[in-house]
Amino acid sequence: MNARIKACVAVFVFLAAYAVSDRAEGVSEEYSYEELVKEIKVLKERVIALEKKVATYENSGVSLANVREEIKKSLVSYEPGKGVSVEPVGLRIGASGTFVFQGTPNANNAGDGEDSVFNASYKANVEIEKKFGDWGLAYAEFEAGENDSIESGLTLFSNVNRAASDTDSAIEVSKLWYEHYLFGGAITLTGGKIEAADYMDQNEYAYDENAQFLGHMFRNSPLIEFPDGSGPGLQCTLCLEPIEFVELSGGVFEADCDWNNIFDHMFYVVQLNLIPQKMFASYDEKWGGNYRFYFWANDRCHEKIVEEGELASCDTKETNYGFGISCDQKVADLFGLFGRFGWQRPDILPAGVAAEDVQDNPALQWMWQAGMQIGGEKWRRPSDTVGFAIGQVFPGSKWDKAFGDCNKRSEIHIETYYRCELNECLAISPDFQVIWNPYGAGKSSETDNDTIFVYGVRGEINF
């Protein structure tokens, strides 16, 4: 029997005996001997019942050590792929790694006359997240990586390995921000070191380069002139309960991300997201979808094409701008479709392009893409996915007439992958890409216009 219970029983017995003794002091004269005996019987019955409960717990193996272990489990939990969570304080720590092995028999910029290239890259991420009740969230991400696989051997409008992060294995703070919720989550404010691409042009089936499509083409529209990485920014999202099927967001970000004179050059974005699942009061997840419409502007210094082969002065501070659509729609439990369309101003060059590099840095004008994703339940692999996408990006008409000798054509991309989840922490994805008219018609300084075929495999580790 538990020692504490035995001590309690002894105390009760002693008090009862003392109470019936005629030598006991302070006993109320209102109680008779028979009434005291009844009280003692009641106490005895309670002690017997308590002894039975203790015996039941002891026989079931419940002990103080077991109770402590259960409490520990409820405080700290681990979920594969999501890391360790400390529930009472809202803390989560997770880590991941992505390895990419890619090759091509026709690298149009390989150098030294070598067209066949096979290289690798890796990227590691550590995430720390802290929740503050239902009103705030802090987030930090640390990143390190090396090489870009075969990207440096290719000259394309849109390259082939978005998962690369070449930091020469040095650890960098890639993101660091705080998010605050107002009016029950109707307004979300986010500020800090953030990446603009996380807040616009998202897509359910073509947005995660670590698990979905590898090519830049299908991660974000190549027509958006994003800031140079993550930097100072402020983002606001508005979603009101009466019209919760409409989500309006906007943000301002430093365009060059150098943390100097942060208001000199800015990147602006406004996005409207329509959610048909909520619009038609259908909360069945199999009909989930998003239809995002956005407008962006980048006021870094851009040179304007004024006539054939000539540029305006950089002092004009021409602003680049564009718009686009990104939509995804589930059409069955295992099947989803997506598409994008984008346009940007065609009469200026990308920011920072020098006059002597004009011909090798085309101004793009518009693009489109479409694709699908299929789950693996039909072949008894519910955690596996298959993706297929096709897209096309077009150079600007004014740039082509001025510097491209009117021979630049659209660059066409096709990509497919099969993501095989080996367990909760490890996945392998064979990936294949085909690119027609690379760089419009091959690298401008070469005559290599052949179609580029890229084969590879991606490995994901989540813990």
Question: Tens digits of per-residue pLDDT, 154-181?
Answer: 989 999 999 999 899 999 999 999 999 9
Tell me what pLDDT residue 22 has.
47
> 226, 217, 205: which is closest to 436 by C-alpha?
217
Number of other residues whose CB lies within 10 A of the CB of residue 125: 19
Cβ proximity of 449 and 437 under 8 Å: yes
The mean pLDDT values, 10 residues at a time, for the chain of 463 residues are 51 50 47 71 76 66 58 63 72 94 88 81 96 94 95 91 92 96 94 94 95 96 92 94 90 92 93 87 72 96 73 69 96 91 90 68 89 94 96 85 68 97 94 93 56 96 91
Token readout for 217 is: 């083409």
Tell me what pLDDT residue 67 has.
54
Question: Which CATH number is 83-462 given?
Answer: 2.40.160.180
- By residue count, the chain amounts to 463
Helix residue ranges per DSSP H, 60-125: 64-75
Positive or negative: CA dihedral 330, 332, 335, 337? negative
Separation CA 196–CA 334 (nearest Å): 30
Tell me what pLDDT residue 20 has.
46
- What is the pairing mode between strands 83-86 and 231-238? unpaired
Cβ proximity of 95 and 127 under 8 Å: yes
Token readout for 57 is: 């717990």
Tell me what pLDDT residue 100 has.
97
Token readout for 456 is: 């590879």
Tell me what pLDDT residue 23 has.
44
CA distances to 210, 271, 348, 349, 388 from 216, rounded to whole Å, are 12, 21, 22, 20, 14
Tell me what pLDDT residue 120 has.
97
Tell me what pLDDT residue 369 has.
98
Token readout for 291 is: 């239809």
Tell me what pLDDT residue 71 has.
52
Number of other residues whose CB lies within 10 A of the CB of residue 191: 15
Annotated domain spans of the chain? 3-62, 83-462
